Amino acid sequence: MTIWKDYQLAYSLSEAVEAYNQAEKPVRFVSGGTDLLLEIQQGSHPTMKTLIDLNHIGEMRELKMVGEQIFIGAAVPVSQITNSPLIKKHAMAVAEATGLIGGPQVRNSATLGGNVAHALPAADGMISLVAMDATAITYSHSGYSKKKILELFLGPGESALANDEILVGFEFSIKKSGEGSAFNRVMRPQGVALPILNHAVWLRRKDHVIEDIRISFGPSGPVPTRAMLVEEIFRGNKLTAETILRAKETILETVKFRTSRMRATAEYRYHLAQALLEKVVKIAWNRAGETE
Ligand SMILES: Cc1cc2nc3c(=O)[nH]c(=O)nc-3n(C[C@H](O)[C@H](O)[C@H](O)COP(=O)(O)OP(=O)(O)OC[C@H]3O[C@@H](n4cnc5c(N)ncnc54)[C@H](O)[C@@H]3O)c2cc1C
């Protein structure tokens, strides 16, 4: 089966956008290819006339600290993110999420850019970036722009990126004293791609109280969201058994899980979400209490 007719390597963002706009259509950007090429091969995505490879664009392969921000290039292989001491220090949720994507071979090719651009509401890397309140840096024919991570989605598998818009990278704040994050998920034993449920938490503690918190679950609706009303239960309160119980009840009342034929019933997802919440919040809390 022919997946593409013309495969082009881009060495800069402007070159990639120009190549996109000049290319014989249909055309797509490709990073690791672990979503796109498989979907084309399996017939769930139309074949392409042109693919434009983003892996040789220097700034998309950088992983670095810039002032008070961490920058992860959208074309950095997720295995590199998982193993990065910088990410382990500042964003354990991201290290844990990327470390669970596929197996070692997939992780050596897969990228955060592809994980987010594919716009599936349970993508592991994306769910961790939501809890980190990441900002995406993009580039298109109109130049660079910045967007909050939650602005990038229109529906399941449908991103809000313009056709020629490239995800260049993601940035989020460095870990400050009293802050911590964690990620966990539940996968079908024989599952290889998306989880039954995944969950990420970032929090800041002060004087035995959760001063601020961000919570994300996937998949919980057509586009990724934060569980804002669950966050409200924790904010300003101590991490007691009572707070956790109220937060679990609030999941039942306010977070939307649905039954999916291939993965799990909504009922099972509510059960898992409550168990994961207690586990993940406690891990993030303990990490937030660790001294440097
Ligand atoms: C065996 C297997 C197991 C997997 N397990 C998991 C898992 O456990 N968890 C999980 O979340 N995912 C999983 N995946 C899915 C996939 O590996 C990830 O979503 C991966 O992060 C996709 O990144 P990629 O670079 O390979 O994307 P690609 O396949 O290159 O691209 C995916 C989509 O994003 C677009 N795109 C890519 N990069 C950019 C960019 N920088 N800017 C704009 N658009 C872009 C492409 O045009 C395409 O539409 C699995 C896949 C396989 C094959």
Nearest to 35 by CA among 104, 101, 136, 110: 110
Phi (first) and psi of residue 102, to 5 degrees: 50, -150
Angle at 132 between CA 74 and CA 84, to 5 degrees: 55
Residue with the smallest CA separation from ligand 1 atom 23 is 114
Residue 111 Cα to ligand 1 midpoint, Å, equals 6
How is domain 60-173 classified at the architecture level of CATH?
A: 2-Layer Sandwich (3.30)
CATH of 179-289, one of 3.30.390.50, 3.10.20.440, 1.10.540.10, 3.30.420.40: 3.30.390.50
What pTM, to 2 d.p., does this model score?
0.97
Ligand 1 site residues, Cβ closer than 6 angstroms: 28-36, 38, 54, 74, 100-102, 106, 109-111, 113-115, 117-118, 123-125, 161, 166-167, 192-194
Walk along the chain (292 residues) and give the pLDDT tens digit of each residue: 688 999 999 999 999 999 999 999 999 999 999 999 999 999 888 899 999 999 999 999 999 999 999 999 999 999 999 999 999 999 999 999 999 999 999 999 999 999 999 999 999 999 999 999 999 999 999 999 999 999 999 999 999 999 999 999 999 999 999 999 999 999 987 666 789 999 999 999 999 999 999 999 999 999 999 999 999 999 999 999 999 999 999 999 999 999 988 889 999 999 999 999 999 999 999 999 986 5
For the chain, domain boundaries: 6-53, 60-173, 179-289
The domains spanning 60-173 and 179-289 adopt the same CATH topology: no
E-state strands within 149-291:
153-155, 158-159, 166-173, 179-186, 197-206, 209-218
